[in-house]
Structure 1
Amino acid sequence: MSAEDGSAFDIYRQRVERPLFRLFTEYGPGRLKWLTVGMVANVFARGASLLPPLVLGVAIDSVLSGDSPYSLPLVPSGWLPTTDLEQFWFSVWLIVGSFIVTAVFTWVYGVAANNFAHRVMHAVRTDSFETMQRLDMTFFDDKQTGEVLSVLNNDANNLENFLDNALQNSVRLGVMIVGIAIILFSLNWQLAMVTLVAVPALFGLTVWFMRAVEPRYVARRASVGNLNTRLENALSGVELVKTSGTESYETGRVEDASWRYFRDTMAVLRLNYVYRPGMELLAGISFAITFIIGGLWIFRGQGPLFLTGTLSSGEFVTFLFMTQRFVTPLAQVSNIVDQYENAKASCERVFGLMDIPSQITEAEDPVELEDVEGHVEYDHVDFGYAGVADGEPEELVIEEVRFEAEPGETVAFVGPTGAGKSTLLKLLIRLYDPVDGEVRLDGHDIRELSLESLRNHIGYVSQTTFLFDGTVAENIRYGRFGADREEVIDAAKSAEAHEFITALPDGYDTRIGERGVKLSGGQQQRLSIARTMLQDPEVLVLDEATSAVDTETEMLIQRSLDTLSADRTTFVIAHRLSTVREADEILVLEDGQIVERGDHESLLEEDGLYAKLWGVQAGEIDDLPEAFVQRARERAAERTDRLDAQADSLSPNDD
């Protein structure tokens, strides 16, 4: 994949249309009752909050000054008290009641809206993780784990914040604008026109801000993912950093990523520095104009400029209170837009992750494996890593591989680094699919089998051991969670791990830390082997299973592996040829092709690549042939070029 193409994640993110609408249509059903209750409660709360200024204005004009009869909009006059004292106390209790109603319905809204927001985000976060779990290994070969974590955590939190706060403030703003406009126009339509004159300007400024800020939010979300990746890599590799003395180098890389995030954040804030003060200025001007025009109207007893009619003191007070309540929500429009744009960018990233298709899919009616014998066939298999844009392989790394393993046989794969040994066996587990040819297990094309049943019958011990933060027993039991303590101990004994486990502070209940950092490399490897032994699979794949242990431990583990593989089909990848000399068949790979095959003795007689590798390891040959060394150097240079290109595509620009 070229740097220009971008990752699959980037491509599918750009294809997401109307992300927030999609969020509601896909995750709203079944949860809309909470949103509906919340929105209705918010309308009542905001409506009740507009009542005190209106009642106060009426009380001033009718009860305190006596200039007009006591009347309230939409309330029949027969329901209202007639004496001044009764009208006064009625006004007091009406105002107090409106505050109580506002508080109660605000509480109802808070409960309902938070239920909706957090239920939606629980589903989004769970679905995103489930989608990520189903993605092909090609996605993880390319995608930075820090950015994936950013999607699952930061972006999901942004959506939650939008659903929790922005919706509330949007409804509040809408109710306030409509409610205030109705009240003001009912009191004095001319002064209402003056008060609301700034609304078109506010709307225009908001439209400009939303169009200008959207691409900047997208860039900021990407820089967050890049920064998370850099931090995650630095923390995961802290031992390498310290032993290499490269703390300053890693600090520089984090500093570059952080500076990129700073630049992208400031690009958003620079627009906010214009938009937010602009909104507050326009809203403040609206309040000031209302105060000036209304004050002159009261002071002169007639409308200034082109205004006609009368304006009472109570109406003027109501206008001032209403305008002030109108100013505050308008000043918060910037926060709503900020949350909206942030959520939109995050939503694109979430659905961009969800939309990435998986190439490793099951058949419509997959076959469930039962009574597996372990007969494996590779029939003219080709494989290449798929490109992002068209899904076609850029180049073949496995070509025309064919071999057969009978049940109970051990087949070994040897060859130089990068020859395709590990990739070849990952096809058997369907971490990848061949682009041509078939891989069969007991006569079934493995693409016809259910993934779960296929992988349940194949044990895989990788050259890179992974252990979870938990106890020793939990890590051995992983994959067979129902295994009892005796089965766990038997598996550990078979892997030559029981002795060192019992020497740990809490034995099998000792917590080993993230990635098993409290154990040595050899101990980690033996736990991984014990985990596979507990699985008791019919087919066993050992990818450099003894690479992290010393010679003595290797001998002990090899003895256990010989016992484990005695009655099952076993595939072994090894650089130490001494560990595979007893294999039924040894396949020698070079540049993704099988160049030699046979048992140990016959391959030595051929005097080919295997014999040369054996001679070097046995000390019988001082050096490899120059042609072999040159090919190895060329492969190393190609890998270095690819890594450099990927690093260049991920590095922030100097400007």
Structure 2
Amino acid sequence: MGTAADDEESVFEEYRDRVDAPLRRLFREYGTPELHWLVGGMIANVFARATSLVPPIVLGVAIDAVFLDRAGYDLLFLPDRFVPGTDAAQFWLSVTLIVGSFLATAVFTWIYGVAANNFAHRVMHAVRVESFEKMQSLDMWFFDGKQTGEVMSVLNNDATNLERFLDNALQNSVRLGVMVLGIALVLFTENPQLAALTLVAVPLMVGFTWWFMRAVEPRYTDQRESVGNLNTRLENALGGMQLVKTSGTESYETDRVRDASFSYFRDTMAVLKLNYVYRPGMELFAGLAFATTFLVGGLWLTTGTAPGPLTGTLSAGQFVTFLFLTQRFTAPLAEVSNIVDSYQNAKASSERVFGLQDVPRRITDGDGDVTLTDPVGRVSYDDVTFGYEDGDPGAPTTADDGDAAWADGGVAAAAGDAAGPDESAEEDPVIDGVDFVAEPGETVAFVGPTGAGKSTLVKLLLRLYDVDEGAIRIDGHDVREIETASLRSSLGYVSQDTFLFDGSVADNVRYGRFDADREAVVAACEAAEADEFVRNLPDGYDTRIGERGVKLSGGQRQRLSIARTVLQDPEILILDEATSAVDTETELLIQRSLDRLAADRTTFVIAHRLSTIKDADRILVLEDGRIVERGGHEELLTADGLYAKLWGVQAGEIESLPSAFLEQARERRAETLSDDD
């Protein structure tokens, strides 16, 4: 049984379908700067293929002139004045030309290989880097629920397919063209009638190739899609291995991987079935061309008379040249299937690469960029309204706001009941008319049930999304007018979901402040209550902590995250349930470091436990995206509203929210919706 995500369209499908002539675009945008490598490789390839045709020609002339003594030593590319007069000298000349042609072929092939690989790898280096850079610039709606495995497939597998095409198939296409044209020229020069008979298979092979390309293209597209889906499924399963094991759902995940793998198998077989028709077919056409040449030429020589409508004579040397060159002609034509394979694969991959690159950005720096210089830290939300658009792939609904369960002992469930069911939640704004001001140095806390909009409020401040109505201002500047890098460098964000890179402790703490010295890193860790445990690690600050910091506990990871923010020294601080996933003792340590960090800064706190924010300068209680209560801790307790009831639940004074209060909450919400109408 698949998930809803399994049934969604590909992340890039809409934009991929809009890509026009993807391979032409690849050459235009990325190949042009490296064109000198391509041209050099092409020229060397032409010379390599041309010199490889010399031995059969020399051999044919030598047979007739030296061994059979039935013709003069007449080579197309050698002036008569360079031809010696004796058979022995002509023999040694033939040997020299054959050996020289092999040496020349080897040299030009080496030059072609170096140039072709330089072109291919330089182009794909640029494609990978620019695609990754573009991916990083995309808005958060792109990453909300997106399939990381598919993105990895584009940056890795699809880029590799393009690299193989540029490295092998492109140059092989040139080699094929040179070989076919060169061989055709030589054969028509030797004997036009037999040449026409030998080459009659070429138009048949061209038509067969055209049919194959039209038939296989959609199958390659499906195959690339299934590769992305399989990568996504594997990445999700491996990333959530702890959940899988603790839930005992190994068989369920195996079934999902089996389904994705079978889809890939099915789509791959659909491609291979056509290949099994095309490749033998091309080899059959090429083989028939060789067999026809051998049959007609053999009869011509053995009978001494041109068979059928053919006229003239055919020498033994010419016949040998025809056989050698037809065999040379057969092999490249039989390889057309590999070139077509690579072309179709590269076309599908380039569509996906440019599909990623064409995903639009919504969060962009305005024309009048404002740079924050030593901001005072006054933050105002002016009648802010925001909702995730239905067209945003993966945009969370109000029930998936990023707010974690914010209370113990069933409080989240009770608060959810208070909000009541809302089947039209996706159509309602997540933030609705929020208006408040945080003065410099104040601490403002957001509390409310899951899905109330708390995390969304701070994401709007970080400008991970843009407001639909109203404005958010820092020191009077609309955040949409502030240079994005300047804005985010002034904000420090400590999330409940701590992310650490695979590297040393010191490298993770200085992430974003890469020029910080060891003393600054240690001071930041001391401020975050992390120095003691770091020094007890095997290599101290140089200890590698593994991917996502797997070698550390949750509390240790959280304290390193706080240390990283301390080192950043932001003017405005955002604490998004920073102690929600740790034990009480660790929470006390972390809370102490957070209090130290928040001193004299404008601070926004999303509360998990209400006891951690009772000393905030102002507490804003959110429900359904609106501020329903505001004030200090004692003031809100005196008001005996939602905050007071939830405080009572967490303090153990009441076991749960009373049904009468829940009913009042439902009525209050219904009245609010009615007023909106």
Q: Note the alpha carbon deviations across 1:171-213, whole angstroms, 9 max, x for none.
A: 1100000000000000111100110111111001100110011
Alpha-carbon offset, residue 312 of structure 1: 0.5
Alpha-carbon offset, residue 487 of structure 1: 1.5
Q: Residue 590 of structure 1 corresponds to which residue in structure 2?
A: 623
CA–CA distance in structure 2, aligned partners of residues 75 and 556 of structure 1: 89
- Specify which of 197, 220, 224 is matched with residue 227 of structure 2: 224
CA–CA distance in structure 2, aligned partners of residues 513 and 605 of structure 1: 49
Q: Residue 277 of structure 1 corresponds to which residue in structure 2?
A: 280
- The answer to whether the Cα contact below 8 Å between 1:62 and 1:68 also exists between their aligned partners in 2 is yes
Q: Residue 483 of structure 2 corresponds to which residue in structure 1?
A: 450
1:9-88 aligned at under 5 Å gives the runs: 9-88=12-91
Q: Note the alpha carbon deviations across 1:61-93, whole angstroms, 9 max, x for none.
A: 111111111101143222211211111111111
CA–CA distance in structure 1, aligned partners of residues 60 and 43 of structure 2: 27
- The answer to whether the Cα contact below 8 Å between 2:142 and 2:394 also exists between their aligned partners in 1 is no
Specify the code of the residue in structure 2 equivalent to 1:369.
L
- The answer to whether the Cα contact below 8 Å between 2:201 and 2:285 also exists between their aligned partners in 1 is yes
1:168-207 aligned at under 5 Å gives the runs: 168-207=171-210
Q: Point out the more displaced range, 21-30 or 242-251.
A: 242-251
1:401-412 aligned at under 5 Å gives the runs: 401-412=434-445
Secondary structure of the 1:427 match is helix
Alpha-carbon offset, residue 404 of structure 1: 0.6
Secondary structure of the 1:402 match is strand
> CA 1:604 to 1:26, structure 2 compared with 1: closer, same or farther past 3 Å?
same
Q: Note the alpha carbon deviations across 1:116-149, whole angstroms, 9 max, x for none.
A: 0000000000000000000001000142000000
- Specify which of 133, 141, 151 is matched with residue 136 of structure 2: 133
Q: Residue 291 of structure 1 corresponds to which residue in structure 2?
A: 294
CA–CA distance in structure 1, aligned partners of residues 664 and 18 of structure 2: 42
- The answer to whether the Cα contact below 8 Å between 1:202 and 1:279 also exists between their aligned partners in 2 is yes
Alpha-carbon offset, residue 632 of structure 1: 11
CA–CA distance in structure 2, aligned partners of residues 554 and 150 of structure 1: 40
1:350 is the counterpart of 2:353 = yes
Alpha-carbon offset, residue 562 of structure 1: 1.8
1:521 is the counterpart of 2:551 = no
Alpha-carbon offset, residue 495 of structure 1: 1.3
- The answer to whether the Cα contact below 8 Å between 1:360 and 1:431 also exists between their aligned partners in 2 is yes
Alpha-carbon offset, residue 310 of structure 1: 0.6
Alpha-carbon offset, residue 57 of structure 1: 0.5
> CA 1:627 to 1:300, structure 2 compared with 1: closer, same or farther past 3 Å?
farther
- Specify which of 650, 656, 669 is matched with residue 623 of structure 1: 656
1:209 is the counterpart of 2:242 = no
Under a length normalisation based on structure 2, what TM-score does the superposition of the two structures give?
Answer: 0.91
1:241-390 aligned at under 5 Å gives the runs: 241-388=244-391
- Specify which of 102, 112, 117 is matched with residue 105 of structure 2: 102
Specify the code of the residue in structure 1 equivalent to 2:261.
S
- Specify which of 433, 437, 443 is matched with residue 400 of structure 1: 433
1:518-597 aligned at under 5 Å gives the runs: 518-597=551-630
Secondary structure of the 1:386 match is coil
Q: Point out the more displaced range, 452-461 or 499-508.
A: 499-508
- Specify which of 163, 166, 169 is matched with residue 163 of structure 1: 166
- The answer to whether the Cα contact below 8 Å between 1:415 and 1:575 also exists between their aligned partners in 2 is no
Secondary structure of the 2:51 match is helix
Q: Point out the more displaced range, 1-10 or 543-552.
A: 1-10
- The answer to whether the Cα contact below 8 Å between 1:8 and 1:356 also exists between their aligned partners in 2 is no
Alpha-carbon offset, residue 563 of structure 1: 2.2
Under a length normalisation based on structure 1, what TM-score does the superposition of the two structures give?
Answer: 0.94
Secondary structure of the 1:542 match is strand
> CA 1:111 to 1:395, structure 2 compared with 1: closer, same or farther past 3 Å?
farther
Matched-pair identity in %: 70
Q: Note the alpha carbon deviations across 1:416-463, whole angstroms, 9 max, x for none.
A: 111111111011111111111111000000111111111111000011
CA–CA distance in structure 1, aligned partners of residues 465 and 129 of structure 2: 25
Q: Note the alpha carbon deviations across 1:358-416, whole angstroms, 9 max, x for none.
A: 10100134111102100001111111223438999965211111111000000000011
Q: Note the alpha carbon deviations across 1:226-245, whole angstroms, 9 max, x for none.
A: 11111111111112222222
Alpha-carbon offset, residue 607 of structure 1: 1.6
> CA 1:599 to 1:429, structure 2 compared with 1: closer, same or farther past 3 Å?
same
- The answer to whether the Cα contact below 8 Å between 2:10 and 2:225 also exists between their aligned partners in 1 is no
Specify the code of the residue in structure 2 equivalent to 1:60.
I
Secondary structure of the 1:31 match is helix
> CA 1:304 to 1:225, structure 2 compared with 1: closer, same or farther past 3 Å?
same
CA–CA distance in structure 1, aligned partners of residues 626 and 10 of structure 2: 29
Q: Note the alpha carbon deviations across 1:575-634, whole angstroms, 9 max, x for none.
A: 20000111111111111111111111111122211111111101112112448879999x
Specify the code of the residue in structure 2 equivalent to 1:104.
V
Alpha-carbon offset, residue 3 of structure 1: 8.8
Alpha-carbon offset, residue 255 of structure 1: 1.1
- The answer to whether the Cα contact below 8 Å between 2:366 and 2:481 also exists between their aligned partners in 1 is yes
Alpha-carbon offset, residue 547 of structure 1: 1.2
- The answer to whether the Cα contact below 8 Å between 1:525 and 1:548 also exists between their aligned partners in 2 is no
Q: Note the alpha carbon deviations across 1:235-286, whole angstroms, 9 max, x for none.
A: 1111222222222221111111111110010010010010000000111011
> CA 1:256 to 1:3, structure 2 compared with 1: closer, same or farther past 3 Å?
closer
> CA 1:391 to 1:510, structure 2 compared with 1: closer, same or farther past 3 Å?
closer
CA–CA distance in structure 2, aligned partners of residues 364 and 83 of structure 1: 84
- The answer to whether the Cα contact below 8 Å between 1:414 and 1:586 also exists between their aligned partners in 2 is yes
CA–CA distance in structure 1, aligned partners of residues 427 and 131 of structure 2: 28
> CA 1:147 to 1:334, structure 2 compared with 1: closer, same or farther past 3 Å?
same
- Specify which of 128, 151, 156 is matched with residue 154 of structure 2: 151
Gaps of 5+ in 2: 396-425, 667-677
- Specify which of 484, 493, 497 is matched with residue 460 of structure 1: 493
CA–CA distance in structure 1, aligned partners of residues 77 and 103 of structure 2: 21
Specify the code of the residue in structure 2 equivalent to 1:552.
E
> CA 1:443 to 1:483, structure 2 compared with 1: closer, same or farther past 3 Å?
same
CA–CA distance in structure 1, aligned partners of residues 638 and 664 of structure 2: 24
- The answer to whether the Cα contact below 8 Å between 1:283 and 1:330 also exists between their aligned partners in 2 is yes
Secondary structure of the 2:200 match is helix
Q: Residue 653 of structure 1 corresponds to which residue in structure 2?
A: none
Q: Residue 422 of structure 1 corresponds to which residue in structure 2?
A: 455
Q: Residue 649 of structure 1 corresponds to which residue in structure 2?
A: none
Q: Note the alpha carbon deviations across 1:10-56, whole angstroms, 9 max, x for none.
A: 21111000000000000122211111110000000000001110111
- The answer to whether the Cα contact below 8 Å between 1:60 and 1:313 also exists between their aligned partners in 2 is yes
CA–CA distance in structure 2, aligned partners of residues 322 and 150 of structure 1: 42
